[in-house]
Amino acid sequence: MNFRAFDLNLLRVLDAMLSLRNTTRVGETVGLSQPAVSSALRRLRDILGDPLFVREGNLLVPTGFALSLQVPVRAALESLEHALSGGGSFDPSRSQRSFVIGASDYFHEMLMPQLADLLTRNAPNMRLKMLPAATASFPAMLAAERFDVVLSISIDPPVWIEKQRAFQATNMVVARQDHPMLRGLTWGSVLPLDLFCGLPHVIFSVTDDFSHFEDAALERIGRSRNVRFTMPGYYGVGRVAAQSDLIGVLPARFALSVADKLGLVAYRLPFEMPLIDMYLYWRKRDMSNREHEWLRGLIIDLLKPLDEVSFPVTAEEFGARPAWTRSPKDQASSTRRLGSEISPLK
């Protein structure tokens, strides 16, 4: 191959094609018509002496040789982009990049308001879209470039995915105000195990299973619970619990954040559970992309206060419980008194 005569624009087409596997979408990404993309692929086949992509039904499937080029081609393009930009510092105020974050609705409440505020002030032309991300399928969504980053529980990802721990968290039980079976319990107290197992539950789940982390913990002590409903979002769990006699389990700080809005009372779990690890995932080839790196750093920084190893849930956070859960005497109590009465979550 005569590299001096090689058109480097063909690498942009190959890179996009390896990610998107669709000539129309590749054309939209690189700014070419669909016929122009097909023409570029024919030129690449002639130059490289390989079919590169073969049709299987409605799909264009890369050959083994084409797949072997994916990482080095992407790295070469990023290196060239970095060199041509002068390798200077990244100015977020000039970025017009659009990013897609895959995450559950936990992050609607606990991340997006702060992130939106910071981007509006520091990167006013950057755009963000958040979409639901299922743990089992998000690697495929990253591969197809449908997501740029994902926030999810810990998994062992493919070798081409990087991950960084964002925080570790605990869970709490929530129920509606004046639940007929819980009237003798106070905000922040431990829900008795027999009540936890006997009352009907609504749980967060995006799979076909009527189970979540708590069920594995219960199994270890020879118990089970009565799961009746599942919801694909945490806010939905809270809404159902707030308007029925079902109880739910929510991440602790999420529960404390939405309790006032939904009219919920929060209780501690009656059994030990390991901390839940939450990670940020992204494609390894985006590691040195400056816009990508900047956004990842911003997300990690905003999520640090949610880490219950470094920042346990405090008595003060319990003290900020909704006014309707406190008697007039409680409301007159100081934060110092609350601190002596309620210990942080373990």
Task: State the SS3 of 164-206.
Answer: EEEEEECEEEEEECCCCCCCCCCCCCECCHHHHHHCEEEEECC
Q: Confidence class of residue 341 from pLDDT cuts 50, 70 and 90? A: very low
Angle at 230 between CA 227 and CA 235, to 5 degrees: 120
Q: Confidence class of residue 338 from pLDDT cuts 50, 70 and 90? A: very low
Residue 223, Cα to own-chain centre: how many angstroms? 30
Q: Average pLDDT in the 199-225 region?
A: 94
Q: What is the CATH number of domain 3-84?
A: 1.10.10.10
Query: Which pair of structure tokens corresponds to residue 65?
Result: 């040789």
Residue 83, Cα to own-chain centre: how many angstroms? 32
Q: Confidence class of residue 195 from pLDDT cuts 50, 70 and 90? A: very high
Q: Confidence class of residue 9 from pLDDT cuts 50, 70 and 90? A: confident
pLDDT in the model for residue 323:
52
Instruction: Specify the higher pLDDT residue, 174 or 208.
Output: 174
Q: Average pLDDT in the 278-303 region?
A: 93
pLDDT in the model for residue 329:
47
Instruction: Specify the higher pLDDT residue, 307 or 29.
Output: 307
Phi first, then psi, for residue 17 (nearest 5°) are: -65, -35
pLDDT in the model for residue 263:
95
Instruction: Specify the higher pLDDT residue, 152 or 288.
Output: 152
pLDDT in tens, 100-146: 999 999 999 999 999 999 999 999 999 999 999 989 899 999 998 89
Q: State what percent of residues in the chain have pLDDT above 70.
A: 87
pLDDT in tens, 243-290: 999 999 999 999 999 999 999 999 999 999 999 999 999 999 898 888
User: Inter-axis angle of helices 9-20 and 34-48, to 10 degrees?
Assistant: 100
Q: Average pLDDT in the 171-194 region?
A: 94
Query: Which pair of structure tokens corresponds to residue 293?
Result: 């790196």
90-94, 180-184, 224-228, 261-265: segment of lowest average pLDDT: 90-94
What is the fold, at CATH topology level, of the domain defined by 96-168+277-306? D-Maltodextrin-Binding Protein; domain 2 (3.40.190)
Q: How far is Cα 342 from Cα 261, in angstroms, rounded to an integer?
A: 23
Which parts of the chain are beta strand (E)? 53-56, 59-62, 98-102, 127-131, 149-153, 161-169, 171-176, 200-204, 226-231, 247-251, 264-267, 276-283
Q: Domain 171-274+314-341: which CATH class?
A: alpha beta
Query: Where do the domains of the chain lie?
Result: 3-84, 96-168+277-306, 171-274+314-341
pLDDT in the model for residue 7:
82
pLDDT in tens, 41-81: 999 999 899 999 998 877 788 999 999 998 888 888 877 77
- CATH topology match: 96-168+277-306 vs 171-274+314-341: yes
pLDDT in the model for residue 145:
87
pLDDT in the model for residue 4:
60
Instruction: Specify the higher pLDDT residue, 24 or 226.
Output: 226
Q: Confidence class of residue 2 from pLDDT cuts 50, 70 and 90? A: low
